[in-house]
Structure 1
Amino acid sequence: MSGKSQTTHGKITDNIFKFTIFIKISCDIYLDNTITSIINQTMDFKNNTQVILLIDTYKTPINIDEYIRRYPENITVIHLKDSANHITNKSELIKGKYVSLINCGDYITSTTLENTYNYLEEYFDEIDLVSIPVYTTDKHVPDNLNYKFSTSNVINLVNKPNNPLTYLKSTFIKKDVLLSVYSENNHEQLPCSTVINQIILKRLKYGVLSTDKYYANTINNPHVENILDYMDNYLIKLLNIVRDNKNSFPYISYLITYELQNIIRIHTLDMLNNKEKKLFWNKLEYLLSFINEQYIINNPNITSENKTFLLYLINKDENTIITTSSNDAVIKIKDYDIDRLSNNKIIIDIAEIKDDVLDIEGCYSSSFNNQRIDVKLIVNTKSDSHEYNPEYITYDSPERSNIQHISITWKYIKNFVFKIPLEKNVNATYTLEIVLKHGGERIVYKPLISFGGSASISMSTPYHVRDDKILSFKDNKLQVEKYSFHKMIKYEAKSLMKILHEKKKGYMHALKLHLLYLILYPYMNNKKIWLFMDRSDSADDNAKYLFEYCNSREDNISKYFVISNECRDYAKLNDKYDNIICFQSLKHELLYLFAEKNISSYVNDFHTNPFYDKNNQLYRGIARPDKIFLQHGVTKDNLSEYTNKYKKNVSLLTTVSTLERDAFLRENYNYDENVVQVLGFPRYDSLTSQPEKIVLFAPTWRNNINSAEKFINSGYYEMIQEVLSSKQLEKLIKENGYRLVFKAHPLLEEYVDLLNIPDYIIVSRNESYQELFRKSSLLITDYSSVFFDFAYLKKPVIYYHPINDYHYRAGYYNYDTMGFGEVCVTENKLISIIEKYLSNDCIMEDEYKSRADTFFKYHDSSNCMRVYKWLLKH
């Protein structure tokens, strides 16, 4: 509720409403959900509720004329002009007895205002505010502090201090009390949590209502962007208010302990300079000095890992010691266990048999220094026993990297790989051990095992058939034995009983599929089946073009293309081919279980796996296809955090360039050399060029954007809007007889209507990329890999990088030295380069043609053939 205000809509009368609801809006895409939930309350809207819409006019106009027309006495619009002054300076605008804030896109249940008003009136002399529980809007997941809403009551924080309240949204406050807090703080802008807790501290009581709910787009604690301000203006400010107040102190101590989790979850302090780091530690030590350990140890609102770290911070001047027994060890500080060897599991990410080799890959994490820890594999046959040492590898993804809290390494990760030849090790058991070296001791512990998402088995389906062998898991051990149909039936029967007994989500569907699998197994087991997919909702990429090529080959392989029957490309393919199947249909599910290869331009399960949202672990043991990743764009950035082996475990990853392949092998993807191949992209065989006078603008996406509000407030939005709104560009395009086509990334399409797009620009929604590449003469992009296709056709490219906001880490590709066109960082430079190309018929310059010739290994039309031959051979 901040900003210098100017009333532009709504007639303010002397009527006193029961409620004033503030809604701060920077985009209106979800406004209807919010305002409708207020208008449609059981408490009559016209007589009881005032809505003040706080509009940021610098971003997007809000179309609220219909609401103003219907409710002129109730709705006031404030245009925020200057965030230096607070809206409560205009207190005469607030006509409600009670005040609340609702975020745009959030909504409340229909009886909220009626129940809240009655409750506040009943306990008017006892409390200043009442709060209702918060849930997510999509899956209705409760906030982790919702336990206090089990019944409607007044919480006395003197008696029950561990009941922190942190949301201003979902809370209804007496107007006079709210204004007095801002007045006491000279109307400065305060964090919402500071405001609400300063009010709570006046009485040390507040009300909770269990009868209603607040639905929020997000309920996670906000990211601490300015950590020093967060500590000063929230935690330290509250602590200083109550430090000498015995009654208030326990509540604030619990609150601060809970909120410290927002600080210690920060991975690194590298964003601070040396002076700021010193300030940070001084402030943190000041806060911790007031925290009694009892507020941490028995606090259910703090995770166990955060508890041990906070205890460590409080006692870090004490000596950390390790005590050991015959098969366990404990890290202690004073009397507190920081970590215990036996508390930590091994996660097996990969467990599979290929080419007579057992591949076991996984990780072990603990607070014991990595130099003290080793992982061993013990292989036992009937006649012998062998101990194997692993290769230790590194991943860049957070889940498989050392865990740091505020630049302190707290958990060490050991990523290991065992590759065991099976000629002599069939009918053997495989046991993983953790060995801790401490002083002269060697403590050996057999940890419990769990399975990651790329393992070929799971706890629910703990066996997998591959070639002539069965890999299984029992009694915390892996086992390999020779295949027989009788053995397979026994394992499958046990899986069925396990699924039936556990009754996990989706188990009935899984039982049906497992039974059908058993019935069909004798008929389907020896069939060669290949499934092809691009995205589940489109077909215009490498898999489609490879499918069309492979479909014309006579090779006794059954080939199917998978796509949702709700998208426009389904009908086109279904009219042309007989072997098109619907994504997530029963036929797709059964074929997936028996398929030899699942061939896709995408690698995410939600595009390729029919069981991705059906509790996939219930099917993992019986699903057999190798994942073939054709890519949907040339990889130029370091994507090792996302497409590495432990997450995706693909059997083939196609590339177009030796430079691209070398990057996959050099960076921490950890794929074997035979997996990453330079074969070319199948869709390049069908790339053609018949240029028209079209300039194509095709920016990529930003992964940090997950809402319309974030989009509107991003530099990404400003970059796109700047290009679309450029009068200089419009003049250039029109004077030279060209057309400007805007092609939004698939994830941007949802937000296109939030952009102000001049009439002369053509927004491409239905044309394929192949068609746009064929017709366009010049490409303007930011970081999208579509520029590789364009350069392959020897057409000019311009990179527009006014801000460095791309979400992926830089890889081997350098835009200045390897790019296929100029890099522009200002609008004037961009316009100048566009003008240059339009004046010479959009001919690619020789320097960039030479770079294209050097980058792409193949310039023929044999990419499909090369990929097909590799798939046949492997």
Structure 2
Amino acid sequence: MSHFKRLIIRAPKYIWYLFCLVIFYPIGRIAKVLFPKYRDVWIVSERGSDARDNGYHFFKYIRENHPEIKAYYIIEKNSADYHKVAKLGNIVKYKSLKHHFLFAVSEYKISSHIFGYSPDVLSYNRFQKLGLIRGKLVFLQHGIIVNDIEWMFYPKTKLDLFVCGARPEYEAVIKRYGYPSGVVKYLGLCRYDALNKPCVLKNRILLMPTWRIDVCAVGNRDKFTQSEYYRKLQSFINNQNLIDYLDKNDLELVFYPHFEIQRFLKDFHSVSPRVIIASFNDYDVQELLMNSKMLITDFSSVFFDFAYMGKPIVYYQFDDIHYAHGYFDYGGDGFGPVLKTEDEVINYLAEKVNDGFLVDDMYKARAETFFEIRDDNNCERNFNAILSL
């Protein structure tokens, strides 16, 4: 689809959201003069659909430690996480009129995804390029960046605070992304505070690959199930050697497809009850990361969380996917071996079971060097950095 055709299709949305900005900005100015409760408002979100990432952990920190801050969390009413975050108070329905109003009056706009706090990412990103967005824009990050993401380069994306979760990532973003001095800061990811808390491990292996843009772009199930991506993962979760090994060692394998792949969840199936195909609504990613003994992934940045906790990782890179070159090399910098076949992965799993899921010294040393900051003050550092904007 051409760029011009996409603009035509989205034109009604652009017009509606622009209308909301035009209406609510002057209303907001008047409201802030007349009503103190609308001054210095913070809005926090992730994608508008969830509350289990850095946005949620930051909002929870504010509500529990700084109730004087007028912070509101933006989320869909039908989200699986709605009631969890509603317990903290100050919750606002995504895309509601109140959301539009608070977007207009807020001094701080904070999310784990670029423009995740807005009523529509594409529209408001365009409005920003036209100079129509007011307030301080804070990017808490969804995960540590591995490869260059060119649409995040300045000035394609403009931010007042760009949070990094590790020293090498921070140095790469400073060097390559072009932001003005002081915007990019190494503060640590907010959700890492929870990773330091004690957790009971289950006899569980987590399989969590990332998505593929070309696979998701197909749009229909028939084409998806014909893709190499689907066939490789479907084959792995039905590998008889794997299933036999799970049975023998009383292990379960939780296969948690990426958020963008969840719409194809029903196309995955396994002959073994020990293989659990996990849905977004029923499983919390961070809980899975915390209570699993080992991670199998391909390129998903969740492996950084696992390495931070000091647990074994294996990269099952079964296809030749090409990302824009970044600072991180899986072979030279990774926290586990890079393997290409099912048998290699299963053999490595057996090795880790036999040694009690110990992390090899080389990978342990890499993780210790990568994460210069290891404490439970990440939310506090993020909070203080925002106050200083």
TM-score of the pair, normalised by structure 2:
0.88
Is 1:534 the counterpart of 2:35? The answer is no
- More off after superposition, 840-849 vs 792-801: 840-849
Query: What SS does structure 2 have at the residue aligned with 1:522?
Result: helix
Q: Which of 645, 650, 654 pairs up with 2:163?
A: 654
Q: Report the CA distance shift for 1:621/1:642 in structure 2 as closer, same or farther (over 3 A).
A: closer
In the alignment, which residue of structure 2 is the partner of 1:861? 376
Q: Which ranges in structure 2 are unaligned for 5 or more consecutive residues?
A: 1-5
Q: How far 1:597 sits from its partner (Å)?
A: 1.2
Give the aligned partner of residue 712 of structure 1: 225
Tell me which amino acid in the other structure corresponds to 2:194: S
Compared CA separation, residues 703 and 619, structure 1 to 2 (3 A): closer
5 Å-filtered alignment, 1:214-233, equals: none
Q: For residues 161-172 of structure 1, what are the structure 2 equivalents within 5 Å?
A: none
Aligned-partner SS, 2:191:
helix
Post-superposition shift, 1:734? 1.0
Instruction: Answer with 1 or 2: which has the greater Rg.
Output: 1
- Out of 332, 340, 356, the residue aligned to residue 841 of structure 1 is 356
Aligned position for 1:686? 194
- 8 Å contact from structure 1 (residues 729, 831) kept in 2: yes
1:676 to 184, 209, 230: 184
Aligned position for 1:562: 74
C-alpha contact 2:46 2:56 (8 A) present in aligned 1: yes
Distance in 2 between residues matched to 1:859 and 1:633, nearest whole Å: 16
Q: 1:620 to 1:557 in 2, by over 3 A?
A: farther
Kindly tell me the number of residue pairs found equivalent between the two proteins. 370
Give 1:619 shift: 12
Indicate if the aligned counterparts of 1:528 and 1:556 stay in contact, CA closer than 8 A.
Answer: no
- Partner residue of 2:145? 635
CA distance in 2, matches of 1:548, 1:845: 35
Question: CA–CA distance in 2 between the matches of 1:758 and 1:810?
Answer: 38
Closer, same or farther in 2 for the Cα pair 1:785/1:522, shift >3 Å? same
- Give the match for residue 737 of structure 1: 250
Bigger strand fraction: 1
State whether residues 155 and 179 of structure 2, in contact with CA within 8 Å, keep that contact through their aligned partners in structure 1.
no
CA contact under 8 A between 1:510 and 1:619: conserved in structure 2? no
Match among 99, 112, 119 for residue 610 of structure 1: 119
Q: Structure 2 vs 1, CA of residues 780 and 617 (structure 1 numbering), >3 Å: closer, same or farther?
A: closer
Corresponding letter in the other structure for 2:276: I
Per the alignment, residue 3 of structure 2 pairs with none
**CA shift at 1:755, angstroms?**
2.5
Equivalences for 1:279-290 in 2 at 5 Å?
A: none
Structure-2 residue corresponding to 1:809: 324
Deviation string, structure 1 residues 228-255 (Cα, Å, up to 9, x no partner): xxxxxxxxxxxxxxxxxxxxxxxxxxxx
CA deviations 1:295-354 (Å, max 9, x no partner) are xxxxxxxxxxxxxxxxxxxxxxxxxxxxxxxxxxxxxxxxxxxxxxxxxxxxxxxxxxxx
**1:685 counterpart SS class:** helix
What residue number does 1:585 align with? 96
Compute the displacement of 1:539 (Å).
0.3
> For residue 513 of structure 1, what is the aligned residue in structure 2?
24
AA aligned opposite 2:165:
V
In structure 1, distance between residues paired with 2:357 and 2:128:
55
Question: Separation in 1 of the partners of 2:43 and 2:18?
Answer: 25
State how far apart, in whole Å, the 1-side matches of 2:137 and 2:333 are. 31
RMSD: 2.6
Partner of 2:174: 665
Q: Which of 207, 211, 214 matches 1:701?
A: 211
Q: Which position in structure 2 is the counterpart of 1:215?
A: none
Corresponding position: 1:548 with 2:56: no
- 1:764 aligns with 278
Return the offset for 1:557. 2.8
State the Cα distance separating 1:712 from its structure 2 match: 2.3
What is the rounded CA distance, in whole Å, between the counterparts of 1:505 and 1:810 in structure 2?
38
**Alpha-carbon contact 2:45-2:112 (below 8 Å) kept:** yes
Match runs of 1:322-471 below 5 Å = none
Deviation at 1:505, TM superposition (A): 5.3
Q: How big is the shift at 1:623? A: 4.0
**1:214-239 superposed Cα distances (whole Å, 9 cap, x missing partner):** xxxxxxxxxxxxxxxxxxxxxxxxxx
Aligned counterpart for 2:312 among listed residues 780, 789, 796? 796
Relative to structure 1, the CA distance from residue 505 to residue 540 in structure 2 (aligned partners, 3 Å threshold; closer, same or farther) is closer
Q: Tell me, in whole angstroms, the C-alpha distance in 2 between the residues paired with 1:608 and 1:782.
A: 29
Higher percent of residues as helix? 2
- The separation in 2 between residues aligned to 1:637 and 1:619, in whole angstroms, is 24
Give 1:578 deviation, angstroms. Answer: 2.2
Q: How does 1:108-119 map to 2 (within 5 A)?
A: none
Q: Which has the higher contact order (CA 8 A, sep 6+)?
A: 2
% identical equivalent positions: 30
Deviation digits for residues 795-841 of structure 1, max 9, x if unmatched? Answer: 100100122125x2131111112111111112221121111011222
Please give the alpha-carbon distance, in whole angstroms, between the structure 1 residues aligned to 2:18 and 2:57.
37
Are 1:773 and 2:283 an aligned pair?
no
Task: Name the CA shift for 1:870/1:507 in 2 (closer, same or farther; >3 Å).
Answer: closer
Q: State the SS of the aligned residue for 1:854.
A: helix
SS at match of 1:608: coil
Is 1:573 the counterpart of 2:88? The answer is no
Structure 1, residues 425-459: CA drift from partner, whole Å, max 9, x if none? xxxxxxxxxxxxxxxxxxxxxxxxxxxxxxxxxxx
> How far apart, CA to CA, are the structure 1 residues paired with 2:131 and 2:321?
41
The amino acid of 1:703's aligned partner reads I
Q: Distance in 2 between matches of 1:588 and 1:619?
A: 21
Deviation at 1:699, TM superposition (A): 0.6
Distance, in Å, in 2 between the alignment partners of 1:743 and 1:796 is 17
Shift in alpha-carbon separation, 1:673–1:731, aligned structure 2, 3 A: farther
Give the Å deviation of 1:625: 2.1
Would the aligned equivalents of 2:73 and 2:92 in 1 still touch at CA under 8 Å? yes
* Cα distance between partner residues in 2 of 1:670 and 1:822: 33
Question: Is the CA contact 2:25–2:105 (under 8 Å) kept in the aligned structure 1?
Answer: no
Are residue 644 (structure 1) and residue 158 (structure 2) matched? no
Structure 1 runs not aligned, ≥5 long: 1-138, 143-502
Say if 1:674 and 1:524 are closer, same or farther in 2 by CA, change over 3 A: farther
Indicate conservation of the 8 Å contact 1:594/1:623, yes or no. Answer: no
> 1:506 Cα shift?
6.1
SS in structure 2 at match of 1:805: coil
TM-score of the aligned structures, taking structure 1 as reference length: 0.40
Give the equivalent residue in structure 2 for 1:597. 108
The secondary structure found in structure 2 opposite 1:682 is: coil
Matched residue SS, 1:573: helix
- Contact 1:532 1:599 (8 Å CA) reproduced: yes
Tell me if the contact between 1:593 and 1:622 (Cα under 8 Å) persists in the aligned partners: no
The SS at the match of 1:647 is coil
Q: Which residue of the partner structure matches residue 749 of structure 1?
A: 262
Deviation at 1:555, TM superposition (A): 7.5
Aligned-pair CA distance for 1:711: 2.2
Change (3 A) 1:788 1:514: closer
1:795–1:843 Cα contact (<8 Å) kept: yes
Do the aligned partners of 2:206 and 2:294 also contact (CA within 8 Å) in 1?
yes
Residue in structure 2 matched with residue 818 of structure 1 by the alignment: 333
Alignment of 1:313-328 (within 5 A): none
In 2, distance between residues paired with 1:619 and 1:729? Answer: 51
